[in-house]
Chains A and B, each alone.
Chain A
Amino acid sequence: MKNTATSVAITLKQVQKTFSDGTLALKPLDLHIEKGEILVLLGPSGCGKTTTLRLIAGLEFCDQGGQILFGERNVTNIAIEQRRVGMVFQSYALFPNMNVSENIAYGLRVRGESKELKQKKVQEMLELFDLESYAHRGIDQLSGGQRQRVALARAIITEPEVLLLDEPLSALDALLKKRLRTDINALLKRLGITAVYVTHDQEEAMAMGDRIAILDRGEIAQIGTAEEVYLSPNSEFVANFIGQMNHFDGLLNGQALSFSSNFIPLPEALFSSCKEGDRLRCMARPEDMRLTTFEDATLKGAVSHSVFLGDRTRVLLSVEGVKELVHVDCFERKRYSMGDRVGLVIPPSCLVLLPNSGSEEVC
């Protein structure tokens, strides 16, 4: 089964949502999702990601003036049952009064499709999702992972124009989650279906999406590929939301950032655009930093805590002039004890600098 023929691009123009109590859930939003693209909406709870998904689905309607297009078709005022979407809910929303096959066939049943077509397509789905032996089971006899697969099969059997997934893996355990997200990603790619995927799990977002839109308080903070949002965050919020980030505040001193008795060498692009003595904030990821001997380093700290994580050791350092503990990932099999004095090296190219220079704190 290939869905490319029915898939369409999704366009949101000035889509805004105000709830009946007056809360502005979504600020005017412009968004274009290409045909066949998987876009992940990522953000903390209450950021508007589920509202955006429900607006695209037709479960909510946007405020006057907004427009939602599926390809060329304006669906702004069309109810969900006529939008030709497929949706996978967080709680799966499987019908307890129907067995697995009946659940999967439901979309075809309400369309009045023939018995033969229903049987053929359900069989196809059961095979695709490895559910053949569960065809006649009740929903309450399935595990979480199986329910999730039934929900997905039910959503795509009607060959929808877009597929919407609302935190479909959040109810599963960590191991199953990892396996299923790879499976779902491969399936969506094979079907070539336009998909919008909501999650609050950044790892899941990076594994699933062609692009990730990070939402914060009802608006998109940044949209881009996983590499773009991880390596070049455009705001403190994005930098802190995706992965772990260490912050270093100081003054420009020659070609380095200086604070207390520490120095961090800066890349030329930064120091050349700032004046001597300017206040700067630089950030670095734990995996980009390296521990070295205390004596040789320009940036020094003392081990406060270390956690063995299997593939690496996360070392937490207290560094003079830095308010919070500095997190460093150490990939060598080396032990650190509390109080050990160590040096820190940050390659200048790995330093993250926010583009909106000119503010008081940030260059």
Chain B
Amino acid sequence: MKKGMYFYLQLAFTLLVCAFLIVPIFMSITAGLTNNYFVGVKSGLTLRWVEQVWRMYADTIWLTMGIALVTTLVNLCIGVPCAYYLARTRSKLSAFLDECLTLPIAIPGMAIALGLISVYGGISEFRMSWLFILVGHVIFTLPFMVKSVLAVLQSINFRVLEEGAASLGASFWQRFFHVIVPNCKTGIVSGVLMTLTLSAGEFNLTWMLHTPLTKTLPVGLADSYASMRLEVSSAYTLIFLGMILPLLIAAQWLNRKPKRMA
């Protein structure tokens, strides 16, 4: 079939939009790998800036990974049972909880951080610890975990599956771990990936909650943009991309996989 003018116009527009989004990323990557960004690639490629970032900011990278992992763990322990409770119960309380869970998505991160600081800021041990950031991250990412598991639970007839298991003698916990959790796997995995990426990239809330000793990668990145050479901050971005891209690709791949539910 001969493709018309509209097809080529659309293609050109799409490519233009893609270029608009991708070119800055590409430029940033290049900047992090060139000797002198203002001279350009002809000044030579180097890993010097990446090494420098690693020397200066390795602790922020480890802290970011640590917080992302613990946030995910906490979300798994709270989010999955919470989604199960919401799917099972149809009461005013569950509807209220559902609404409450959605709030952190709508409220700006800064406002959540301010709330946390004004309530718990006085407990200095807690305020100075990375746990303070963890709490903020859990509040911000929990809705994504709950909603993702809840969506899967609502798409499978989990009540009948549970009744089936119960009729065979399975106790509540056996039903939960043998039937509910494995059949929510797609929701749980996508919730985990979302939590990891959101926590690793979170800036607004973390910027308000951090102390000089509890600096995460995005906060360090802002810091380096403000005070370092462009090459250094670009190399920092490169490390962040290396961390976050595999997770994003995995999330995309999971969403494309057709769900096979009997």
Question: Which B-chain residue is minimally distant from A91 (CB atoms)?
Answer: B160
Task: Choose the segment among B31-39, B166-174, B226-234, B246-254 that binds chain A (4+ C-beta atoms closer than 8 Å).
Answer: B166-174
Q: Does A263 contact B (CB under 8 A)?
A: no
- A158 and B161 contact, CB distance less than 8 A: no
**Residues of B235-262 contacting chain A, CB below 8 A:** 260-262
**Residues in B whose Cβ lies below 8 Å from that of A111:** 169
The answer, among B160, B168, B171, B179, for a CB contact under 8 Å with A97, is B179
Cα distance A96–B156 in the bound complex, in angstroms: 10
- A94 and B262 contact, CB distance less than 8 A: yes
- B169 and A93 contact, CB distance less than 8 A: no
- A155 and B262 contact, CB distance less than 8 A: no
Question: Which A-chain residue is minimally distant from B171 (CB atoms)?
Answer: A81
Question: Which B-chain residue is minimally distant from A83 (CB atoms)?
Answer: B167
Cα distance A95–B166 in the bound complex, in angstroms: 12
**Residues in B whose Cβ lies below 8 Å from that of A87:** 163-164, 167
- B169 and A81 contact, CB distance less than 8 A: yes
Cα distance A110–B261 in the bound complex, in angstroms: 23
Q: Does B44 contact A (CB under 8 A)?
A: no
Interface residue count on the B side (C-beta < 8 Å): 22
**Residues in A whose Cβ lies below 8 Å from that of B179:** 95, 97
Q: Does B165 contact A (CB under 8 A)?
A: yes
- A59 and B163 contact, CB distance less than 8 A: yes
A-B contact count (CB 8 A): 79
The secondary-structure label for the interface of chain A is mixed
- B160 and A89 contact, CB distance less than 8 A: yes
Question: Which B-chain residue is minimally distant from A84 (CB atoms)?
Answer: B169
Q: Does A351 contact B (CB under 8 A)?
A: no
- A96 and B183 contact, CB distance less than 8 A: yes
Q: Does A140 contact B (CB under 8 A)?
A: yes
A81-B166, A139-B262, A140-B262 known; A93 vs B160 contact (CB < 8 Å): yes
Q: Does A15 contact B (CB under 8 A)?
A: no
Q: Does B88 contact A (CB under 8 A)?
A: no
Cα distance A111–B170 in the bound complex, in angstroms: 8
**Residues of A319-361 contacting chain B, CB below 8 A:** none
Q: Does A85 contact B (CB under 8 A)?
A: yes
Question: Which B-chain residue is minimally distant from A82 (CB atoms)?
Answer: B169
- A97 and B185 contact, CB distance less than 8 A: yes
- B169 and A97 contact, CB distance less than 8 A: no
- B164 and A81 contact, CB distance less than 8 A: no
Question: Which A-chain residue is minimally distant from B179 (CB atoms)?
Answer: A95
Q: Does A184 contact B (CB under 8 A)?
A: no
Q: Does A57 contact B (CB under 8 A)?
A: yes
Cα distance A97–B163 in the bound complex, in angstroms: 16
Cβ distance A148 to chain B, nearest Cβ, rounded Å: 13
- A110 and B168 contact, CB distance less than 8 A: yes
Cβ distance A196 to chain B, nearest Cβ, rounded Å: 13
Q: Does B154 contact A (CB under 8 A)?
A: no
Q: Does B89 contact A (CB under 8 A)?
A: no
**Residues in A whose Cβ lies below 8 Å from that of B166:** 59, 79-81
- B185 and A95 contact, CB distance less than 8 A: no
Question: Which B-chain residue is minimally distant from A79 (CB atoms)?
Answer: B166
Q: Which 10 A-B pairs have the closest CB atoms?
A: A93-B164, A107-B168, A97-B182, A87-B167, A139-B262, A96-B262, A110-B170, A93-B160, A140-B262, A80-B166
What residues of chain B have their CB less than 8 Å away from a CB belonging to chain A? 156-157, 160-161, 163-171, 174, 178-179, 182-183, 185, 260-262
10 of the cross-chain contacts (CB-CB < 8 Å) are A57-B167, A79-B166, A86-B168, A87-B167, A91-B157, A93-B160, A95-B165, A95-B178, A110-B170, A164-B167
